[in-house]
Amino acid sequence: MSGNSGFLPVNREDMEARGWDRPDFVYVSGDAYVDHPSFGTAIISRVLESKGYRVAILSQPDYRSYEAFKEFGKPRLGFLVSAGNIDSMVAHYTAAKRRRSYDYYSPGGRTGLRPDRACIVYTNRIRQAYGDVPVILGGLEASLRRFAHYDYWENRVRRSVLVDSRADLLTYGMGENILIRIAELLDKGVPIKKIRDVRGTVYLSGRDDKVFFESVGGYDFDALKSDKRLYAVAFATQYRETDAVRGRAVTEYYGDKMLVQNPPMLPLEREELDWVYSLPYTRRYHPMYDSYGGIPGISEVRFSITHNRGCFGACNFCAIAFHQGRSVRSRSEESVLKEAEIITEMPDFKGYIHDIGGPTANFRYPACERQLREGVCANLKCLTPKPCKNLVCDHREYMELIRKVEALPKVKKVFIRSGIRFDYLMYDNDDSFFRKLVKDNVSGQLKVAPEHCCDGVLSLMGKPSIGVYNAFRDKFFRITKEIGKEQYLVPYLMSSHPGSTLDDAIELALYLKKWGYSPEQVQDFYPTPGTASTVMYYTGIDPFSGKAVYTASDYHEKQLQRALLQWGDPKNASLVREALIKCGRSELIGYGKSCLVKPESNAGSRNKMNGRSVSAAKVKRIKNESDEKKPFSYGKGWAKPKKRK
């Protein structure tokens, strides 16, 4: 592939075709090379390229030997290392710790092309190849593992990935301005070990060295790995300081070394975001993957537009707050429209913009004006348990943005497929956007995330009371009926989140049955680094309140909770019965309208029903008269589950 293909060099031949003797940076990624602004590799490499730096892409190198890391020779300024768009352990393993059979970020979905703990493995291979060349970690895996962190797969607290990898510097959060500054310093001849004052970076120094910014923390790893309460306190400190306006440096000790996290880099403002998304992305995967059928991960974003960053929703099981931060920024209408026009000129565009979204689709600005001056509140959330009195809830600009994209000549329809924060939608006194969403921008099904129905569990999730969701659901169906459409809600549900007991799972099953829904897919809680919910799972402590939290850590109990959420699946019947009996709810076993599951298969002429002995004839009559003649009803407004492929 020649150097003028539009892509950055992926091998020595590409590099030499550009007339380079060596690159300034080699970007090592655990993902296949996709030059699309939904992929971190593309954004960072294009940003550095636009600043005049030569960047080569070493995508999914053979990690079994250091030879593959010599493809471009020794870079002039250093190696940039990322595991890819997601943590390599999450990419490889399910919540049940089973090996995945498909990788969305690899050619043809093939597995095994990146190592477990990719940041560590890649850095070690680079050290074997070149010794003291500067190595800078970035991306989601590095960002969320920047401190001592609980590792679900090993069931222990691991050291910071910076310590374990022996890299020189770690960048966290959104890295454009961080890496521009680092590149400038390296280009001026500043040694990597002297770069200590760049926001958004983490470094190691001597235990008694001076910290450039005001600092807090000072937790010792040896104590963190054995004291769960201290671990929860440390996480709460880290979370509070993840704010670019008021955040301070956070320190952690490893023997005679001190790990220092500098305060976050300021978020990119509108003009900067517009610039980032205006760079010359080819918007496709590299042609070297054509023979494999391409990269599956691009299919969801190929005709989608990201219009914002950050999320003040701050769900406890989500790492966005710890990575992108809680202060929202967005692109201008002009920038979004220009990208939409580019999409409409793509040869396979059929007239449908799949999404104009982001971490939360219906956020455009910080939650309140105060955040711009003073930062996000350290100990309060914007939306839960109740909306803040300072919350500015306004969908008018977002609605107008969608309308302008819809008005483009080649656009037939614009859909909103990324998450809508339904409570924020309900808090807006003007329901114009709600009505437009239901009328114009739902592709038959709207994905929403109630997650649970028990307020105690929802509180620990950082979600609003179920009453807010009920009101949203009722309004959605009312508007749908008014406009004469048949549309559905697809609810995201989570089993075994910290705080959820078997009794809570039963209540959720009954809630779903009431609305006639038995989901085919349910997400088991997955304890990934960088989330408050993972801290609860490991410690049994809510890091924000310090209160004890029940955690379903036993694998069989997690199976029972998941089965209850999928109460209508006959394969789960025995587990559902076991859970009901264990909780003293055997009245829910039977053929009545209120029952969740049938009794066990009956043999002989006498049977047990709801604890009473009844004849086989009576069982048959009750069975035929009940609404359980079908395994379950899909219910009004719920999306019919798709058949498994």
Q: At residue 643, does pLDDT exceed 90?
A: no
pLDDT at 601: 78
* Average pLDDT over every residue of 178-188: 98
Whether 506 contacts 588, CB under 8 Å: yes
Side-chain-side CA neighbours of residue 218 (13 Å): 6
Helical residues (DSSP H) of 418-525, grouped into ranges: 422-427, 432-440, 455-461, 466-482, 502-514
Residue 1 pLDDT grade (very low, low, confident, very high; cuts 50, 70, 90): very low
pLDDT at 461: 97
Q: How far is the first Cα of the chain from the last one, in angstroms, to the nearest whole number?
A: 36
Q: At residue 603, does pLDDT exceed 80?
A: no
Q: At residue 39, does pLDDT exceed 60?
A: yes
CA nearest neighbour of 505 among 522, 527, 488, 490: 522
Residue 624 pLDDT grade (very low, low, confident, very high; cuts 50, 70, 90): very low
DSSP code string of 103-135? -TTSGGG-SSSS-TTHHHHHHHHHHHHHSS--E
Helical residues (DSSP H) of 188-292, grouped into ranges: 221-224, 228-240, 270-277
Q: Mind listing the domains of the chain with CATH numbers?
A: 12-201 (3.40.50.280), 303-443 (3.30.750.210), 448-645 (3.30.750.200)
Q: At residue 617, does pLDDT exceed 80?
A: no
Express each pLDDT in 332-366 by its tens digit.
999 999 999 999 999 999 999 999 999 999 999 99
* Average pLDDT over every residue of 454-466: 96
pLDDT at 419: 83
* pTM metric for this prediction: 0.91
pLDDT at 443: 87
pLDDT at 622: 40
* Average pLDDT over every residue of 499-519: 93
Q: At residue 606, does pLDDT exceed 80?
A: no
pLDDT at 602: 55
Express each pLDDT in 51-105 by its tens digit.
999 999 999 999 999 999 999 999 999 999 999 999 999 999 999 999 999 999 9
In whole numbers, what is the pLDDT of the chain averaged over residues?
92
Q: At residue 25, does pLDDT exceed 70?
A: yes
Q: How far is CA 1 from CA 111, 113, 239, in A?
A: 24, 21, 45
Residue 142 pLDDT grade (very low, low, confident, very high; cuts 50, 70, 90): very high
64 DSSP assignment: T
Interatomic CA distance for residues 642 and 597, integer angstroms: 22
Express each pLDDT in 524-554 by its tens digit.
999 999 999 999 999 999 999 999 999 998 9
Express each pLDDT in 422-433 by its tens digit.
999 999 999 999
Q: At residue 630, does pLDDT exceed 70?
A: no
Whether 36 contacts 90, CB under 8 Å: no
List the single range of 188-197, 318-327, 571-580 with lowest mean pLDDT. Answer: 318-327
Tokens coding 238 = 């880290």
